[in-house]
Structure formats: C-alpha cells, structure tokens
C-alpha cells in the first residue's frame, strides 16, 4: 500500500459565516488520478486552494507529503492549475515558465530545457515567445497546465482543466494526464463526469461542504446486482422497458433520460446479460448507440438511490 | 534541491528588475523619468547653481536664502548637488509611490501570484519584490546622480572628487529615505485590490493620519511621536541638512521600514491568494 500523499482531518472552512467545507476528512494515495466532483459552490475550489496553500482553513489539519500546504519542502513536488489564474501579461510564456523552473531550483540550462519540454507536452512549442494576450482561451489553459508540469511534480492539482476547451484540446489534456499518471498523481476537479469516468478510479464527492469517497470499480463488483447502461437511437421507451423486463435476471429497467436505459440484473441468473440485451435489440430491429457496464458516473454520484 | 529563501528572494528581485528594464511598461516609465530629470538638470539645477555660486559668499545672498527657507542650499560645497538634493527629496518619494503601488495586488487579482506561491514562500515573494523595487530605485537614483556629476564636471573638472563624495552621501541618504515608502506600498499592495487603491491609501495615510495625530496631540502631546511612523516624516528636516549630515536622521526611515515590512509580511501571510 502506498503512503498517503494527502491527509485531511476535520478540515473546515467558511466565508463570512457560510460553510464551504464542513469537517472533511480523507486521505489520498499516490497512483491513479482522483476526481473531485460536486455541484457549483460545493467547496471544490476552496478545498484545492487550501491544499495548494493559497488560503488557510478555519480549522482542521492538512498535510501533503507530510508537510503543511505552502511549505517550501513542497516546491517542485506539488503543482497545480488554479482555476482562472492567468500568467503575467508583461512577459512571454517562455520567460515565465523559465522563471518558474528557476524558482523550483533548476539551473539555467535545465530551466531552458524544461520550458521547451513542458510546452512541447501541451503542443505549444510555437508560443514560447508569445505574450499571454496572444493566446486563445484553450492555448492559455494549456500554457497554465504547462507550468504545472515543470519539474515533473509528484502531485498535480487541476481545477477545471478542460473547462471551456474544444474537444480536440480536451483530448490533448486527457492524453497528458494518462501519460503522466504512472509517475504523477493527479487530483482533477471537474464537472465533466464523462471525462472523470475515463480517467479516474477514485472519486471524491463534495456536496454542501461534506465529502464522500467512491471507488469506481469496487462499488460495481461487490454488489449482488449489476447494472448496464444502454443508449438507444430514438425509440419507444415503454416498448423497450417492457421487452427488457421480460428477460430472465433483469430486476429493473429505468429510463432516466431520453433514449437512455439503466438495466439492473442479477449476474448469477444471467452472467452475460450484455449479449442477451444485444440479441434482444437485434431481434426487435432497434438501433443502439452504446452499451456499457455499470451506471454512468453521473447516475452513481448524483442519482443513486433517488 | 529546493533553493533557499535568499536564492528565491534574489530570483524574484531579478525578475522585478527585468519587469522594469525589459518590458514595455517599464521602458515607458524610464522614458518619462529620463525626460523629467532632463528638465530638472538643464533648467533648475544648471541655472540655480550659477546663481547660488554667486550668492554663496555674500551676506545678502545668505539672508535671502535663509528667508525663503532654502538656507541649507548654501551648505553644499557644490550647489548643483544641493539643488539636486532638494528636488530629489520631493520627486523620488512620489515616483516610488507610483512605481511600487503594484507590488502584488494586480498579480493577486489575476491569479499570477498562485503560480509563484506554488514554488516560493510568501515571505520570499514579498521581500523579493520589495528588493526588486528598491534596486530599481537605487539604479534610477544612481543614473540621475551620475548625470548631475557629469554636469558638474562639464562646468569644472576639479570638482569631480568632491562631487563623487557628496553624491555618495546623497545616494545613501536617498535610498534610505525611500525604504519606508516602498515598504508602505508593499504593505498596502498586499492589502488592497489595485495599484490605484494603494496610491489612494498612501495619500490618505500622509494627509489624514498626520492631521488626525496633530489634532489628538493637541490634547495629549505624547501622541505627536506617532508621526514618526508616517513615511517621509523626517523629510522636511532632512532637506535642511547637507552632504554626510543627511545620514543623521537615517534611523527614522530604517525604523519605519522595519515596522512596515513586518506589517506587510504579516498581511501577505494571512492573505488568501
């Protein structure tokens, strides 16, 4: 088992008497990316800001690698993409990244090399001499991610890394995270649950300042019933539900959204339910878009049991 | 290896120098500064030195300058430097307030400080930027002093050694005099949202604080000593001194600087970024 890289104990924070975080306790170990989700105003950015040392919590204890947030010992080990933070408009992207690399203790040639490396990693090598004002929103975001990659930190906290990005850039960011995951632990705050579902095995859910954690794989396999999520082409939902309900082993079929069905079944009665479902679709001449194991992350996090 | 506090402070200081001497905004400021000093050098300093040179040894001249409050000008061995001293005591504090008002506030609002504070302590950031601004001021003082010395040498080359001696005294005294102004702006910049707000607060501190202390000290004279905390409090007395005597009052700005930097550091450590 890995040693915890983040330890939070009874962490609380409030703004002018309004609770943002309420007695949060959790630990994170190094490894796969960890998702941080929650509705707007749930306290996600507050938590990340406290972890980065940008603000102090009202009460509770936090340590990263055994040090208080903002401690000098964390320089180069912990990095972040703070939400909405912009680079200095007076200097070029290259000058600023070089400066940050020097602050992390890199020598002049190392800092120059590192600046090129991180810009190349986010496909921005051409903007080395550009000022931040010359970059589009997506490029600025990637430049900010580039600063987080300087010095190959052990932990990177990303606050909404893909917000406002086009699909191509979103995929680039996902690729960077996947490539670096073996050596760097990412904590990603995002509203894009599909993206978190692809990247993360562990989710931290914050709602009204209260946190709960979820292991994505573990929660599926240990239950006596399993789920399939089916996205159909336009179809008659009552017909689909009626046919599926007649299949042995299916205990419940719900239709949470248009053309989307969640099928709950008993794997002991029908272990290969996915094949049975596809056969049923084929027999009825329906068309489907996607069939996936388990519930969507959105269902699991926000609608399970509701 | 993580750089030390001093190394971080030095890197931030160097970056501030780059901000001043290698960015468009900094260059614009330098051009303005050079133009102002060109006017001061070639009109008041050059002409008044001729005038002062003539009046220096006459009793009429002496009493005239004493009467208008500029008697101390006659105590300078080189009149140009006396005039320079009086101008610089007014101009440099004002320029300092303008140039050092935005030590951290814009970067804090923009979120840029977050990128820096992921890598350095807030103390390094605070003192690094303060040092950068002070070094910039020192370079500007040096440049203006050297141009004044050049003007003196142009008039009389035999005065060069005396000029360098007096200029050294001025340089040291001016840098010390500017320390509390920069420290005050560093503390204000750590508190407020914009450079404009920092400048407004600086003006309020100078005017209203001095005024309020004056009112209260009428009832309780001991309170008058609180004026010692206002940057620039000693400047009117400083203008009456000449050459190395100007360092006699250096303890006041040094004390003010220590207090203001302590306050500023305390603020920035508690400030949310």
Convert the pLDDT of each residue in A191-243 to its tens digit. Answer: 888 888 888 888 888 887 788 887 776 655 667 888 889 999 988 889 998 98
User: B47 in contact with A at a CB cutoff of 8 Å?
Assistant: no
Q: Say which residues have a Cβ less than 8 Å from residue A232's Cβ, sequence separation at least 6.
A: A240, A259, A260, A261, A281, A286, A287, A288, A289
Instruction: Work out the pLDDT band at B188, boundaries 50, 70, 90.
Output: very high
CA nearest to A145 within chain B: B115
pLDDT digits (tens, 9 = 90+) for B12-37: 999 999 999 888 888 898 899 899 88
Chain A residue at shortest CA distance from B27 = A90
Calculate the average pLDDT of chain B.
87
Confidence grade of residue B69 (pLDDT, cut at 50, 70, 90): low
Residue B110: which of A78, A86, A96 has the nearest Cβ? A86
Query: ipTM, 2 decimals?
Result: 0.85
Which of the residues B2, B13, B118, B122 would you substitute to probe the A interface, choosing the one with the greatest number of A C-beta atoms within 10 Å?
A: B118
Q: How far is A243 from chain B (nearest CA, A)?
A: 56
Chain A CB contacts of B8 below 8 Å: 103
| Residue among B269, B265, B100 nearest B181 (CA) | B100
Which of chain A's residues have a Cβ under 8 Å away from the Cβ of B118?
Answer: 52-53, 75, 78-80
Closest chain A CA to residue B121: A72
Out of A217-226, A234-243, B93-102, B255-264, pick the least confident: A217-226
For residue A262, is pLDDT > 60?
yes
Would you state the pLDDT for residue A75? Answer: 86
Q: Interior CA angle at B252 toward B250 and B257, to 5°?
A: 100
Sort out which chain B residues have CB atoms less than 8 A from A53's CB and list them: 117-118
Percentage of chain A lying above the pLDDT 90 cut: 37
pLDDT for residue A281 is more than 60: yes
Question: What are A33-85's pLDDT values in tens digits?
Answer: 999 988 888 888 899 999 999 998 888 899 999 999 988 888 889 999 998 89
The β-bridge relationship of strands A155-159 and A78-81 is parallel
Summarize pLDDT for A109-147 with one digit per residue, the tens. 999 999 999 999 888 989 999 999 999 888 898 999 999
Say which residue the tokens 């999520």 belong to.
Answer: A229
Are B8 and A103 an interchain contact pair (Cβ–Cβ within 8 Å)? yes
Q: For A158-200, what is each residue's pLDDT tens digit?
A: 998 888 788 888 888 888 888 888 889 999 998 888 888 888 8
Q: pTM, whole model, 2 decimals?
A: 0.84
Instruction: Supply φ then ψ for residue A85, to 5 degrees.
Output: -75, 135
Here the tokens at position A304 are 């399970």
Q: In Å, how far is B189's CA from the nearest CA of chain A?
A: 17
Phi, psi of A205 (to 5 degrees): -105, 120
Polymer length of chain B: 273
Spatial distance between the Cα atoms of A134 and A141, rounded to a whole number of angstroms:
13
Chain A and chain B share a number of CB contacts under 8 A equal to 79
Q: Do A82 and B110 touch (CB under 8 A)?
A: no
Q: What is the mean pLDDT of residues A252-262?
A: 89
């Amino acid at each position: 088992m890995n040693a915890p890289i983040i330890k939070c104990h009874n962490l609380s924070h409030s703004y002018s008497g309004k609770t943002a975080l309420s007695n949060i306790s959790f630990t994170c170990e190094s490894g796969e990316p960890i998702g941080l989700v929650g509705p707007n105003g749930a306290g996600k950015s507050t938590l990340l800001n406290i972890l980065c040392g940008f603000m102090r919590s009202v009460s509770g204890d936090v340590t990263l690698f055994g040090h208080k947030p903002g401690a000098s010992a964390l320089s180069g080990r912990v990095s972040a993409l703070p939400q909405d933070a912009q680079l200095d408009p007076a200097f070029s992207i290259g000058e600023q990244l070089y400066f940050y690399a020097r602050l992390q203790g890199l020598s002049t040639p190392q800092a120059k090399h590192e600046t090129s490396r991180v810009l190349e990693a986010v496909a921005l090598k051409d903007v080395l001499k550009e000022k931040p004002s010359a970059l589009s929103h997506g490029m600025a975001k990637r430049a900010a991610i580039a600063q987080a990659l300087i010095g190959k930190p052990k932990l990177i906290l990303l606050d909404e890394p893909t917000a406002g990005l086009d699909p191509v850039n979103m995929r680039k960011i996902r690729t960077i995270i996947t490539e670096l995951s073996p050596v760097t632990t990412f904590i990603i705050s995002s509203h894009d649950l599909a993206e978190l579902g692809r990247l993360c095995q562990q989710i931290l859910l914050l709602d009204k300042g209260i946190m709960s954690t979820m292991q994505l794989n573990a929660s599926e396999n240990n239950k006596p019933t399993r789920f399939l999520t089916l996205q159909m082409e336009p179809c008659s939902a009552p017909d689909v539900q009626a046919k599926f309900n007649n299949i042995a082993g299916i205990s419940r079929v719900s239709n949470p959204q248009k053309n989307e069905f969640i099928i709950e079944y008993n794997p002991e009665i029908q272990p290969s339910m996915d094949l049975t479902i596809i056969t049923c679709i084929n027999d009825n001449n329906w068309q489907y878009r996607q069939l996936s194991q388990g519930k969507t992350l959105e269902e699991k996090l926000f609608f399970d049991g509701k | 290896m993580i750089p030390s506090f001093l190394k971080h402070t030095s890197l931030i200081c160097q970056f501030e120098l780059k901000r001043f001497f290698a960015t468009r905004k900094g260059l614009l400021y330098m051009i303005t500064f050079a133009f102002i000093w060109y006017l001061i050098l070639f009109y008041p300093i050059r002409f008044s030195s001729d005038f002062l040179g003539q009046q220096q040894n006459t009793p009429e001249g002496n009493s005239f300058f004493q009467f208008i409050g500029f008697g101390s000008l006659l105590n300078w061995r080189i009149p140009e430097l006396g005039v320079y001293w009086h101008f610089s005591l007014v101009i440099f504090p004002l320029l300092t307030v303008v140039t050092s008002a935005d030590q951290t506030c814009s970067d804090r609002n923009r979120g840029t400080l977050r990128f820096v504070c992921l890598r350095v302590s807030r103390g390094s950031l605070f003192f690094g930027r303060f040092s950068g601004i002070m070094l910039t001021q020192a370079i500007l003082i040096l440049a203006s002093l050297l141009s004044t010395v050049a003007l003196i040498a142009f008039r009389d080359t035999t005065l060069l050694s005396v000029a360098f001696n007096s200029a050294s005294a001025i340089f040291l005294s001016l840098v010390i005099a500017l320390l509390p102004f920069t420290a005050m702006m560093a503390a204000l910049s750590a508190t407020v949202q914009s450079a404009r707000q920092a400048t407004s607060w600086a003006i309020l501190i100078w005017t209203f604080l001095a005024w309020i202390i004056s009112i209260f000290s009428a009832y309780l004279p001991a309170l008058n000593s609180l004026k010692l905390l206002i940057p620039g409090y000693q400047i009117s007395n400083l203008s009456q001194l000449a050459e190395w005597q100007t360092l006699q009052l250096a303890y006041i700005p040094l004390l003010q600087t220590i207090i203001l930097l302590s306050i500023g550091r305390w603020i920035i450590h508690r400030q949310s970024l």
